[in-house]
Chains A and B, each alone.
Chain A
């Protein structure tokens, strides 16, 4: 089900790009990553807008938290009333996330699968390739040409250049995301803030570990995805700064 709806279409799109780009695997991965990230921009913007609205309510929320600090039930009711009056749905930030995640993970799986370097990996890929008259014979393209400079895109980077880039770009992206989420003085948020800060450090290194362990084609995806994310969050942050100064 997951394969049919998400991974297979992305895998075949990757092969189509590979065909159109004259067998350039790296360019095909890069193009697909950029397109999918661009396609997700409206969702990201919606998520950011929701966060922005919630941030504007923070002063009022703080007052409510102070007022009902000993009564959780009344606190919840008051918070919901505030959201309702402001026309803000606190869960609306999660919906775009639920749509983005399968796409990102589908892209990840498609790249790993399409770069199959072993006989078994290639045989497992075969049934997932579309065979329709209006498309070129995508299965004849396999296995993909995986050599690019020092890299065999189907194997981990032997010189760790890409894992280092993955760590750096992941860290910058995490930093930009957290910069958009202002800190509060509420003690109740301390635990969450500590966890968020911890994620800022652990996530880039975890991504670096994944990059070291898997095909370097996946690292290309991670670096490009991060760069698009950095550019996107930079623009969002800049526009927020401009609107704040206007106000």
Chain B
């Protein structure tokens, strides 16, 4: 106080400005600590193994017990970051994972037993951006989009580049392969159809907004949603827009769920839409106070949609697939963290991977939402 009194009044504003700026800038600088995730863990469950691109490692778990089987790299590496959903190449026994910051695709050769730590078969590091979305296997190729705006077609045998296709912005969506065409959506407001063999462009479709959700095939057409709050049904051969839904009020970021006759879109504003695939008729829409970003799953009998909201609310939604009504499966998690990633299911359990809390993986009973296991277990945290 005496120091402050000793400072002449004309010096006070300048000193106060400097000190305040320093304090506030230090505060803001501190907000970007290494613990902050940049995206959401990708999950894959196959043959009773749950693979998780778990931010600083790719981990494998026994899907029934939650026992950790192995991790790649062996020690957590927060600098590289793993978010892109792992892809299993059963034919070659490879697990394909991609690093966010190290811009590298790793092909891990899986061992004979589930708990055997895989070796590195090859790596591909030509890309100059971050890997966010998952890749797709098509024949001998692994197709994956990158933050440098390119779609890379990588030879699964040795990791060599077969072809690449450049868009004008980042690719966060998983490419879709139908017959001999690859459909890739970009944040540059375009969806492209490419030849699977050569990567040559067949057509391009300009959309109102960026496309971060993966296109899907339903009823013989390509369906996609964008950040312009619109949905599109597109002819897969010509790229012609067959139908457009312009009544959306928020971004469509979650990859849609497709049943036999209905396609379901959930938007960032918390609204869920069900359309008849054949007639494009809006069957129902339900508004929630959630933020939907990740892809949901169907219940085992296909009668329920289970959706995971983003950001701190922790209420997992279960909706009646026929009517959109809320069902009692809905569950409030005590410590939800940020939950905007995709859900996956093996028909018995639903798996989620929250971020920014100590719990990294959770498994729920698909029929009632009861938590079965979590990793790390409570006493290990």
Residue B113 lies at the interface, judged by CB distance under 8 Å to chain A = no
State which of B16, B17, B208, B311 has its C-beta within 8 Å of the C-beta of A137: B208
| Interface size counted on chain B using CB atoms at 8 A | 55
A119 and B39 within 8 A (CB): yes
Q: How far apart are the CA atoms of A54 and B7 in the complex, in Å?
A: 14
Contacts of B7 in A (CB 8 A): 189, 191-192
State which of B13, B36, B210 has its C-beta within 8 Å of the C-beta of A143: B210
Q: How far apart are the CA atoms of A173 and B291 in the complex, in Å?
A: 44
**Which listed segment binds A: B24-32, B66-74, B89-97, B156-164?**
B24-32
Interface centre among B6, B14, B37, B253 (most CB of A within 10 A): B14
Given A119-B212, A120-B39, A213-B29, also A97-B16 (CB < 8 A): yes
Within A27-81, the residues touching B (CB, 8 Å) are 47, 51, 54-55, 61, 72
Given A143-B187, A181-B14, A192-B7, also A123-B253 (CB < 8 A): yes
Contacts of A161 in B (CB 8 A): none
Residue A239 lies at the interface, judged by CB distance under 8 Å to chain B = no
B13 and A192 within 8 A (CB): no
A196 and B340 within 8 A (CB): no
Contacts of A108 in B (CB 8 A): 28
Q: How far apart are the CA atoms of A189 and B3 in the complex, in Å?
A: 10
Contacts of A72 in B (CB 8 A): 5
Tell me, rounded to whole Å, the shortest Cβ–Cβ distance linking B94 to chain A: 26
Tell me, rounded to whole Å, the shortest Cβ–Cβ distance linking A217 to chain B: 15
Contacts of B212 in A (CB 8 A): 119, 122
Within A200-226, the residues touching B (CB, 8 Å) are 203, 206, 210, 213-214
Residue B8 lies at the interface, judged by CB distance under 8 Å to chain A = yes
Tell me, rounded to whole Å, the shortest Cβ–Cβ distance linking B56 to chain A: 15
State which of A55, A120, A141, A203 has its C-beta within 8 Å of the C-beta of B18: A203
Q: How far apart are the CA atoms of A188 and B5 in the complex, in Å?
A: 9
State which of A189, A203, A214 has its C-beta within 8 Å of the C-beta of B8: A189
Q: How far apart are the CA atoms of A145 and B212 in the complex, in Å?
A: 15
State which of A47, A142, A189, A199 has its C-beta within 8 Å of the C-beta of B210: A142
B13 and A94 within 8 A (CB): yes
Contacts of A118 in B (CB 8 A): 38-39, 130
Contacts of A122 in B (CB 8 A): 212
Given A108-B28, A123-B293, A123-B310, also A192-B15 (CB < 8 A): yes
Contacts of A84 in B (CB 8 A): none
B9 and A90 within 8 A (CB): yes
Contacts of B251 in A (CB 8 A): 126, 139
List 11 extra interface pairs beyond A119-B83, A140-B229, CB under 8 A: A93-B10, A123-B311, A131-B249, A137-B209, A139-B251, A140-B228, A143-B169, A186-B8, A191-B6, A199-B18, A206-B22
- B contact residues vs A (CB 8 Å cutoff): 3, 5-18, 20-22, 24-25, 28-29, 32, 36-40, 83, 130, 132, 169-170, 172, 187, 208-210, 212, 226-229, 249-251, 253, 268, 291, 293, 310-311, 338, 340, 355
Pairs A–B under 8 Å by Cβ, sample size 26: A51-B13, A54-B9, A90-B9, A94-B16, A97-B17, A101-B17, A109-B28, A118-B38, A119-B38, A119-B132, A120-B36, A120-B38, A120-B39, A120-B40, A126-B291, A139-B251, A140-B208, A140-B227, A181-B11, A189-B7, A192-B7, A192-B8, A196-B11, A199-B15, A210-B29, A213-B29
